[in-house]
Every structure is written in structure tokens, then in C-alpha cells.
Structure 1
Amino acid sequence: MRYLFILLTLALAACGDDNTTVTETRPPAPDALTAHSQVFKQGVEKVTDGVYVAIGYGLANSIMLEGDDGIIIVDTMETVEEGHRVLAAFREITDKPIKALIYTHNHADHVFGARAFAAPGEVPVYAHESTGYYINRVVNQIRPIITARSMRMFGHHLPDGERINDGIGPFLGVAEDSELFALPPDHTVDEQLEVTIAGLRLQLVHAPGETNDQLFVWLPDKKVVLSGDNIYQAFPNLYTIRGTPYRDTQQWVASLDKIRALGADYLVPSHTRPLKGADTIEETLTAYRDAIQYVHDQTLRYMNKGYTPDQIVERVHLPPHLAENPWLQPFYGKVSWSIRSVFDGYLGWFDGNPSTLQPLPEGERARHMADLAGGESALLDKAREALVQGDAQWALSLTDDLAVLRPDDDQVADLRAAALRRLAEGEANPNARNYYFTSAREAADGLKPGFRTLPPDGFLATLPIDNFLNAMPAFLKAEDTLDAEEKLGFEFTDSGRAFTLVIRHGVAVVHEGLDDDTAAVLVTREPVWKQIAAGQRNPAMALAGDDLDIRGGKIAALRILGYFEKMD
């Protein structure tokens, strides 16, 4: 994937001669969102003796625990470059060696800066036992779509003014030339693990919530809890619009109750600023868990009455004492998104309305909408009228149909972009604002959100070869293989491992071991195939340079590989 930085100025006041001053008109933004940026003022804050948190260097925080003869780093930022900046700030406090890394969970902004703090195998890396799986899942299986949607949500392609902040941090600091290098966890936690590192007694406790692998870290002698991402100063992302597995809200509430029971004097989240004082922490945690439970319980209440998600969204809102809480403002998650996620988590995609059970194909629906309006031109006029009258959501909805009917019409694209920008300008939720503005650039300017930073060889070496091969079936062009029954072998000379890729009438299956009836066998070393799969190396060049050999039919091998979308 490639970066596409298209920074189009929305409005320029420019005319006359060379002395004319060109100014950019910044799009409107709600005052509350602009003020929220103060939460991410950059710097290292001392929480209590031996506990420091770096805030504002990227999307997430990084936390340093200072012990007798060393330090522990909890969460490592999203890039190695950011990790180096944070470590430099920590080094102004102490030069004690790093004794361990701890990941509170698998999200990229907590793990991909790890190489800045240690080399592979240099220090123990603690995490939940499933964290490695989730890191590999994003790297290999759903990278293209999760990257594109994340870039919309975090406003990566937007200039300042369109993007104000990212809700739980100032920005996602990944650039095209960023180095991403997560060290694999080698000390894993099931439900709870107590360890002493650098003289510090720590309890690592499994606390599923925003992710299934979430941990919190409890320092009982200091009464400090590092809460990971189960609480931050914004309404929680019970569902994230970039897309993730279902976030079990009941587990999230239970995990917050575990933290409440500690009676902590200091709470240090992995986003936003720490809290101090047992009473303040208790009140904040109680409000936070109550808000989650309220949304969950009231959604179930109306589900059981037979209401659809749209109908429930109209009815369920936080009560005033929660809606006014400064830690529950909708700067990251939203109640409406959460309701839809809870519904889907219990009942799946079908909302219960029979008209949605087998909806019309979008082309037919669009044609009917145009007929109702009096034709395509009339439908376009209706959409324009809606925008002029201030109903940007309805205008945007109508452009859904127009885009199907007139996919190459610049008038439709411009109208759609205008509706998206109007929605963005009034949106206090950064995820929604960024998504709208980015989508507007996609419609009007041809922006293709997403990128791919090439992982260094050292990071690729930490990922099992199985992951690269098991990712292949999801990229199969099934329509090209409906009549195919073929096998391709993979033999890795350095590890002695072998695999067979089976193509069977539109389905691809990978299993360990080499079948006797393969059409060909690719013979190489694991690092070579990882580089090819990661897009770092041209397979033809590897073949010419003797790093890749094909035993058997080369034409057959190339044909089988051609059945797959490029994984870039």
C-alpha cells in the first residue's frame, strides 16, 4: 500500500498580483472538541515516586516504572521513532537499564514501537497469552481493510483543521517511512501473574474489555493501577468504526469492577491523563462502568420488546448524571454505535424487520428511488435541495443511490463530498469527523486511504511462517478457480518445514506437510518467502538470484500463485 497525501485546500482567498496573500479557511469545529486537545499536552508526568507517564507523543501513552536497579516500560507507542522520543524523555529522569516490557494489549499504538526499547530477546516481554495471535492477525489477515478504515477514522490523510485530534490522543503517528517493530511476547499471562522485576512487585491481571487480551497492571505497594484501554477520558469505544471483533460489554464492566475493588490511589490509563485520589478514582470508575452497563441493559430491554437497532438508538441515551460526566463525553465512542454493537453481539446482523431479510440489490433499489423522485436528475435535485436546507444526512443518503446510478458523475461526487464535509464540520466525535472528511476526499479527489509501511526483516523474523501461508486463502480469486483442483508445495530449507496449498473449486486450504501430488514445490528459506509475502521482494528477482527455486512445473506454480490477489 502507498501513502496518498492529498491536502486540498477547502477555501482559498486569492486574486490579483504576486503580492496577494493566500490564506486557508479552516473548517468549523465544535469548541468542545478543540478544547479536548488540552488533554494531550505533551510531556512526561510524574504520577508518584517511580511512576511516570509519557503523554502526547503519539496516540497512546507509554509508562515507565522505576525500580531498584532498572525500569519497566508498559506499552511502547505505535512506531519505533516515537518509542525513541519517549525513551529519550524517560532518560532525562533515569539511566537505569530496561528490565522488561509489558503490553497491556495488542493494539498497534501499544506494541509497534517496542524495538526502540529493546532488541529481540534482550528483555522479557509480558502480555496476555492471546496477544501474539491478535498482533499476527492484523499483520497478515485483515491488514488491507483495517488499514484503510483506520486511516479514515484517525484522519491520517487530513490537514490540521479538518483533523483536530484523535479523541484518545493527539494523532496516530504512523508515516510512510515509519518503522513498526513489535517484539513477540515471551512471558504470557492466563488470568493472573505476580512477578517482581527490578524490586517492584507487580500483578498482571487479565481484564477483557476494549480487547479480549487486555491486562491491567497493579502495583500493590504503591497502590498504582495501570488500566490499559479499559478507561480513558472519553466515552468508551464499545464499538470502533474501523472494525474489530465484538467487544463484550459485560466483560468490560466486570473488568472495571476488578479495578474498582483495588482501592487504588493512582490510576494511569494508556490514553489521556492519570487520575489521583482514591475517592476520585472510585467515582470515575463507577460512572464509567455504569455508563457501559446502562447502554448494555437498556439495549437488551428494547431488543426484548422487538425493537430494531434504529429504533433503540432513538430511545436510549445516557441519563444526565452520566451524560455530563467529563470522562464520558463522546470524543471516542458513541452511545448510538454501542447500541448497534450490543444488538449485533447478541442477535447478529438481522434486525428482525422482514423487509431487511433479503433486501433488493443496490442497483435495483437505486433505480426505484430515482423513479420515485421522477428520474435520476430529479433525484440529484432532491439531494441538492436537502443540502441547501441543512439536511446533510438525507443528502448523503440520497447520494448513495446516485453513486450507484451515476458512478462517474462529478456532480454526484461533489455533492456527496459537500454533504460529508457539512456533517464533519459539526461533529464533536473525532472518529466520525475524521471519517467524514476523509470520505469527502475519496469522493471528490480520488483519495485512496491506507498505506503500507514495510516491516523490517528483524520484525518479520519474529512472525511464524504459518501466518503468512494461512493468510493466503482469504486472498483467493475464487471465481478463477471454480474448476480447479491443484496443489502447490512450499519447502523451507532453513527450518525443515513444508506445507501444501490446496486449491479446490474456489476454496484454498493450507496444511503442514508436503503432499506427493503437488504440481510444483517452491523451495526457499523462510525469510525469503516472508519478504515476498510482505511486498519487500520481487519473486522473479528471488528466482533469478537463486534464493527461490521451483521444483516441478514452473508454469503451474506461477499459474497457482496468480490465483491470489496481491497482498499489498
Structure 2
Amino acid sequence: MRYLFVLLTATLVACGGDKTPAPADTPAPEALRAHSQLFEQGVVKVTDGVYVAIGYGLANSIMLEGDDGIIIVDTMETVDEGERVLAAFREITDKPIKALIYTHNHADHVFGARAFAAPGEVPVYAHESTGYYINRVVNQIRPIITTRSMRMFGHHLPDGERINDGIGPFLGVNEDSSLFALPPDHTVGERREVTIAGLRLELVHAPGETNDQLFVWLPEKKVVLSGDNIYQAFPNLYTIRGTPYRDVRRWADSLDKIRALGAEYLVPSHTRPLTGADAIRDTLTAYRDGIQFVHDQTLRYMNQGLTPDQIVERVHLPPHLAEHPWLQPFYGNVAWSVRSVFDGYLGWFDGNPSTLQPLPEGERARHMAELAGGEEALLERAREALDGGQAQWALTLTDHLRVLRPDDQAVADLRAGALRRLAETESNPNARNYYFTAAREAGEGLHPGFRTESPDGFLATLPIDNFLGAMPAFLKAEETLDVHEKLGFEFADSGRAFTLEIRRGVAVVHDGLDDDTVAVLETREPVWKAIAAGKRGAVAALAGDDLDIRGGKVAALRILGYFEKVD
């Protein structure tokens, strides 16, 4: 029944155990340490009526003060953080909140919303697709995205190993965090003009880091709130936690829309604001040119038949862009971006026939050991590589060794050592955090854990379709190759019904109740959502008359048992 619990944590992460302290002298590039100055906590006054809260979490929250109220743009990643930000804003004004605006769907911009307003209390503006993306918090790949996010943001790392998170000081989610996004109820297509609290705003669709990205333009103040399409670091044209392809060509086009405004104040949703029309124009120009350069040069070499590995060796920002203070690789990375652009256009196959049907990893590992003169010789070569300062080659060799010796602590320790060596000199926080976390997984047996509280009120905002639609990806297909059965769901409160069909290794969910179900679960939507989220037990719900099974109870429980339980 707990197959859905992890799906409710979005890309949010939480502690899964105590952190082993980092050595007091853990090495880190000085440039990365200096980058932390961007996240000094406090509220910055940008211009009259425009304030930005920086350093309270991964993202910024922005307050726009009008005649008789305020507008909050982006709401932090947790309700707790949102409350701290609101308390800071309340030191400036006690005017009532008139509206919330989400620049996009990312968790660090929406899940603190309940701190600023109750459901239905104020209008919530966002792009017309943002609600869909927030609802995708319940989806098929959330477990792996969550784990990879924990590595990337260094959530299990002590200070010293984790210096910052590139676009913010930290992702501030822990086991006590409360997550509550208010669903958007005032949506934007391509452009919408509104006046709120006497402030005239233009909300403009500007796809880039996300498809639903908006920027907010205050023409009378010459202020633009750019969301996540620009921040003081090379953009995450690809994120190593994993996302669908980000259309980098459209991202550059969206920056051109902002550039054309002639803004005198630019307020990103990460890092610090920028002032001055000339500085803003020049920075936007460099930023969009950096994006287009990577895109165009990758396509150039793709069309010459080069593989991603070969293109990575050739595509480097020209000096005037590589040296720009807003294009330093403290979040995104040119090489990762090249690989993403290649994959976005051509998919996974790099064009080299040897990679079309590669040997299974076990067979490759055995051949590598044979070339080295045996497993012990391969282990010794990996040690020599690490001792000789070749950490990446040592790490590569341990890829083979851990296949051959999955339970060998010597291999695990060697792999951890290589990962730490790479981390210590890495200035990109995403890579540094990923290396250090993976080292703790290899050497200490860390299993990145997650558990955050999603209040019942927040669960109620998620469509029941999401909870049922996530089930097929958790089917234990090997146990159902000879099974063809249907289970029905009826929700008395909404009047909706669904059929879950298991068809010889495939699960399908559709609207409506088929006549040939072996049983029907009868309940209300909040009850099933709580069961799926691990907040209630099915047996307790049955005993308490909140859940009933019409038909074969044994068959119903057997069908539910065909799905993975994610703890």
C-alpha cells in the first residue's frame, strides 16, 4: 500500500540518518567558498515597493508592495521557510497579502505557499500548465529523482563537504518539514496583464529551465522578475538529478524577451538582484549567447557525425563568456549541456556501432579483469591510479570491480576514496555534492532516505487520477505474466470510478468501472490518498469502515500485492 508514499515528496529531500562529520580541513576550491557570499541571508530592497528575501532556502521569495496590499512571488520550498520569510517581510509592512504568483512549478518555489495564505483565500497566478506539473508530484519516476536530488543537493553531507547548492545556500527540507502548494486558480497563456493592489503587472510565458516558466514585468517600475531563466551561475541546461529535455534554444529566445524590456532592475528567483539598464542588458546578452553557443556548436559537431564524448572535447565557451561572472559553472556545466542537447535531438544512441548492442556489464567487467591479469591485478591497477592522482580512472576501474566483487569492502573503500578525491577539487556544487554523497554510499553504506510530511489539506489538492495513474510503474511484472484480472475503485464523495487491469505483465488504469472486476474498493478520495501516501493503513481503514471491498477481498489484496512497496 505504500507504493505511493515516496511519490508525494516531489523533488524534495529529507535526512535519512545522522551525518558523519567532515574533517575540519575538507578541501574545497576557494572560488566555491566565495560563491556562498551570494546567499547572505536577509531582505534586500531593490527599489520602492520591491523586496527580495535571499538565503532562507534554495530559492528567493519576492514581495511587491502596492497601495493596499502585497503580492508574493514564489513561496519557498517548505511552509516553515515561508513563515520565516513572511516574518521578515512583516518587519517592512503589515499590508494584507492580495495574491501569490508562481514563476514556475519547481518545489522550491511553490511548496511553502500555505505560509502566506489558506486555500482559496487569495488568487494564485501561474502559467496554465503549472498546476499540471505540480500535480505530477505523484508520478512514475519520483523515487529515483528524489534519491538523485539528495545526492545533487548534498542533503546528507555535513558542512565542509557541502559548501552551498550553487543557486542557494541549501535545500531546506527535513523530516519535520511541512509541504503545501496552493493550486493555481488564475492562469496565464502567453501573456496576461493584471492590476493587483494598484500595481500593474504583465505575466509573460517564457519557457526555459521549465516549460511553464513566467517572468513578471512591472512596466511603471522598470522591474522584471525573471524566475529561473537567469541566475548568477551557468544555467542548468541539464540537471544531473534528471529531468525531461530542456529546450535550450527556446530558453535563449525567452531571455531575448526579457532583454527587450529595457529593465532597470532584474530580480532572479535565485542569487542576487542586478541594477542598471546597461548592466542588465549586457548580462542578459552574455547569458543568452552562452546558451546559444553551446546549442549551436553542439549541433555543428553532431552534423559532422561526432559522438557526445567527442563533442564535449571541442565545445568550450569563448573567453569573453567563460570569464563572465554570471556564467561561472556553479550550477550548470557546459559538458553536461552538450550531452543533453545531443540526446534531445538524437536520443541515446551516439552513432558509434560498438555502443548499439554493448556487452552486458558483467561480461565487460570480466574482460577488463582479464586484460589486467585478473581481479586482484585490476584492483591493484585501480589503487595505483588513485595513488598517482588519476581519480577519474580509478573510479572508472571500480565500476568493473564492483560488478565482479559487489560485497568487497576493499573495492567499496577504493571507490569512496576516488569519489572523495574528485569532490575535493570540484567547484561545481552539484558535482561536488554528488561525489561526496556517493562516497558515503560506497564507503559507509549510506542509503539516502526521505520522509516529509504532506498535510492532508495538500493531499486533497492532488487529483485522484495521479494516485491511481502512478501504480502501473510499480507493477512486479514477473509475478503477473499469467495474470489477467481487474480491480475496481469507487469513490463515494466524488462519484468517480476507475478500473485497474493487470494484463499479463502490464497494468492499465482507466476511467469507469468494468463489469468483470474481481472486486471493487469502495471508499472516499481522501481515504485512498492517505493510504497511498502511507499516512493510513488499509487494514485500519477497513476496520474503521472507511474502506470496504465489494466482492473477493482475498483477490483484491492479492492484486494490490503485485505492486512494489517503496519504503
When normalised by structure 1's length, the TM-score is 0.97
Q: Which runs of 5+ in 2 are unaligned?
A: 1-5, 7-13
Q: Which amino acid aligns with 1:364?
A: E
Q: Secondary structure at the match of 1:115?
A: helix
Q: Secondary structure at the match of 2:326?
A: helix
Q: Which residue number in structure 2 is paired with residue 126 of structure 1? A: 125
Task: Write the mapping of 1:357-506 to structure 2, written as runs, cut at 5 A.
Answer: 357-506=356-505
Q: Which residue number in structure 2 is paired with residue 8 of structure 1? A: 20
Q: Secondary structure at the match of 2:138?
A: helix
**Is 1:147 the counterpart of 2:146 in the alignment?**
yes
1:224-263, CA deviations, whole angstroms, 9 ceiling, x for partnerless residues?
Answer: 0000000000000000000011000110000000000000
1:10-38, CA deviations, whole angstroms, 9 ceiling, x for partnerless residues?
Answer: 5xxxxxxxxxxxxx433100000000000
Task: Write the mapping of 1:265-276 to structure 2, written as runs, cut at 5 A.
Answer: 265-276=264-275
Distance 2:237 2:194 in 1: 31
Task: Write the mapping of 1:281-360 to structure 2, written as runs, cut at 5 A.
Answer: 281-360=280-359
Distance 1:5 1:53 in 2: 33
**Is 1:229 the counterpart of 2:228 in the alignment?**
yes
Does structure 2 conserve the Cα–Cα contact (< 8 Å) formed by 1:535 and 1:567?
Answer: no
Does structure 2 conserve the Cα–Cα contact (< 8 Å) formed by 1:126 and 1:188?
Answer: yes
Distance 1:90 1:350 in 2: 51
Q: Which residue number in structure 1 is paired with residue 260 of structure 2? A: 261
Distance 2:135 2:395 in 1: 37
The CA deviation at 1:141 is: 3.1
Distance 1:454 1:496 in 2: 28
The CA deviation at 1:9 is: 3.6
Higher relative contact order (CA 8 A, sep 6+): 2
Does structure 2 conserve the Cα–Cα contact (< 8 Å) formed by 1:235 and 1:328?
Answer: yes
Does structure 1 conserve the Cα–Cα contact (< 8 Å) formed by 2:138 and 2:467?
Answer: no
The CA deviation at 1:449 is: 1.3
How many residues align structurally?
555
The CA deviation at 1:548 is: 0.7
Q: Which residue number in structure 1 is paired with residue 173 of structure 2? A: 174
Farther off after superposition, 182-191 or 138-147? 138-147
Q: Secondary structure at the match of 1:327?
A: coil
**Is 1:547 the counterpart of 2:559 in the alignment?**
no
Distance 2:162 2:264 in 1: 35
Q: Secondary structure at the match of 1:386?
A: helix
Distance 1:340 1:489 in 2: 44
Does structure 2 conserve the Cα–Cα contact (< 8 Å) formed by 1:392 and 1:422?
Answer: yes
Does structure 2 conserve the Cα–Cα contact (< 8 Å) formed by 1:312 and 1:339?
Answer: yes
Q: Which amino acid aligns with 2:434?
A: Y
The CA deviation at 1:523 is: 0.5
Does structure 2 conserve the Cα–Cα contact (< 8 Å) formed by 1:147 and 1:450?
Answer: no
Q: Which residue number in structure 2 is paired with residue 164 of structure 1? A: 163
Does structure 1 conserve the Cα–Cα contact (< 8 Å) formed by 2:75 and 2:113?
Answer: yes
1:437-463, CA deviations, whole angstroms, 9 ceiling, x for partnerless residues?
Answer: 000000011111140213100000111
The CA deviation at 1:495 is: 1.0
Q: Which amino acid aligns with 2:380?
A: D
Distance 1:432 1:200 in 2: 42
Q: Which residue number in structure 2 is paired with residue 62 of structure 1? A: 61
Name the CA shift for 1:534/1:511 in 2 (closer, same or farther; >3 Å). Answer: same
Does structure 2 conserve the Cα–Cα contact (< 8 Å) formed by 1:26 and 1:162?
Answer: no
1:48-106, CA deviations, whole angstroms, 9 ceiling, x for partnerless residues?
Answer: 00000000000000000001110000000000000000000000000000010000000
1:375-417, CA deviations, whole angstroms, 9 ceiling, x for partnerless residues?
Answer: 1000000000000000000000000000000000000000000
Q: Secondary structure at the match of 2:393?
A: helix
Q: Which residue number in structure 2 is paired with residue 193 of structure 1? A: 192
Q: Which residue number in structure 1 is paired with residue 44 of structure 2? A: 45
Does structure 2 conserve the Cα–Cα contact (< 8 Å) formed by 1:144 and 1:450?
Answer: no
The CA deviation at 1:540 is: 1.0
CA RMSD between the two structures: 0.9
Distance 2:387 2:308 in 1: 29
Distance 1:130 1:366 in 2: 45
Q: Secondary structure at the match of 1:8?
A: coil
Q: Which residue number in structure 2 is paired with residue 20 of structure 1? A: none
Distance 1:144 1:326 in 2: 35
The CA deviation at 1:138 is: 2.8
Distance 2:205 2:129 in 1: 11
Q: Which residue number in structure 1 is paired with residue 28 of structure 2? A: 29
Q: Which residue number in structure 2 is paired with residue 18 of structure 1? A: none
The CA deviation at 1:494 is: 1.0
Distance 1:385 1:318 in 2: 34
Q: Which residue number in structure 2 is paired with residue 81 of structure 1? A: 80
Q: Secondary structure at the match of 2:522?
A: strand
1:256-288, CA deviations, whole angstroms, 9 ceiling, x for partnerless residues?
Answer: 000000000000000000000000000000000
Farther off after superposition, 446-455 or 513-522? 446-455
Distance 1:559 1:486 in 2: 10
The CA deviation at 1:178 is: 0.3
Name the CA shift for 1:84/1:9 in 2 (closer, same or farther; >3 Å). Answer: closer
Does structure 2 conserve the Cα–Cα contact (< 8 Å) formed by 1:267 and 1:281?
Answer: yes
When normalised by structure 2's length, the TM-score is 0.97
The CA deviation at 1:6 is: 3.7
Q: Which amino acid aligns with 2:557?
A: L
1:302-336, CA deviations, whole angstroms, 9 ceiling, x for partnerless residues?
Answer: 10111100001001100000000000000000000
Distance 1:545 1:445 in 2: 43
Task: Give identity over the alignment, percent.
Answer: 85
Does structure 1 conserve the Cα–Cα contact (< 8 Å) formed by 2:17 and 2:449?
Answer: no
Distance 1:494 1:394 in 2: 59
The CA deviation at 1:553 is: 0.3
Q: Secondary structure at the match of 1:99?
A: strand
Distance 1:397 1:187 in 2: 51
Distance 2:383 2:17 in 1: 29
Distance 2:414 2:385 in 1: 11
Q: Which amino acid aligns with 1:8?
A: T
The CA deviation at 1:567 is: 4.5
Q: Which residue number in structure 2 is paired with residue 242 of structure 1? A: 241
Q: Which amino acid aligns with 1:68?
A: D
The CA deviation at 1:3 is: 3.4
Q: Which residue number in structure 2 is paired with residue 110 of structure 1? A: 109
Q: Which amino acid aligns with 2:166?
A: G
The CA deviation at 1:143 is: 2.0
Q: Secondary structure at the match of 1:328?
A: coil
Distance 1:436 1:273 in 2: 27
The CA deviation at 1:502 is: 0.6
Distance 1:436 1:202 in 2: 43
The CA deviation at 1:177 is: 1.2
Distance 1:168 1:413 in 2: 32
The CA deviation at 1:499 is: 0.5
The CA deviation at 1:479 is: 1.0
